[in-house]
Structure 1
Amino acid sequence: MDIQNLIKMANQIGAFFASYPDAQEASSEIANHLKKFWAPGMRKLLLDHVDVNHGDGLDAIVLSAIHTHRRALEPSTC
């Protein structure tokens, strides 16, 4: 899958959960959604993008959720 599509999808997820009044809950829900509904390979591409390109193109809420919940999103832990 193309990283630009993954960025777009991740930002859409982030936009949905951004309406949550509790920022920590929003962050957890973004990570939970990525873990539950994204294939390990998709998560790996996204995490590699964060490592190599500092998450360029990702909304702040998504990037924060990835940093906060990185360990849970690693494909090897799924």
Structure 2
Amino acid sequence: MAAAVPSEQRMANQIAANLRHVPGDEAAEAIAGHIRRFWDPRMRARLLELVETGSDGLDPVVVAAAGLLTRSQEAPTG
């Protein structure tokens, strides 16, 4: 029996599928923006964990978006 797909992975892949008509870099920015605005911090953390551990089945644009999320978290404030 196949393991269940984590909900964060499923949702992020759905967002990517809805943006398939947008060029890759723009789609990654749009996905990262959506996740920043609408996802709970725990959901964002879980997605980043999935990307970090190399979860099978993540859309490459989602992986790129996660990289943008990581960079924005590391950016100095003020």
TM-score normalised by structure 2 residue count: 0.75
In structure 1, distance between residues paired with 2:47 and 2:69:
13
Q: Structure 2 unaligned runs (5+)?
A: none
> What is the aligned partner in structure 2 of residue 6 from structure 1?
8
> What is the aligned partner in structure 2 of residue 65 from structure 1?
65
| Structure 1 consecutive aligned stretches of length 4 or more whose deviation exceeds 3 Å | none
Between the aligned residues of both structures, percent identity stands at 39
C-alpha spacing 1:64/1:55, structure 2 compared with 1 (3 Å)? farther
The structure having more radius of gyration, on CA atoms, is 2
In structure 1, distance between residues paired with 2:11 and 2:66:
14
| Length, aligned pairs only | 72
Q: Greater helix percent: which structure?
A: 1
SS of aligned partner of 1:42:
helix
Q: Structure 1 unaligned runs (5+)?
A: none
> What is the aligned partner in structure 1 of residue 34 from structure 2?
33
Q: CA RMSD in A?
A: 2.4
C-alpha spacing 1:6/1:63, structure 2 compared with 1 (3 Å)? same
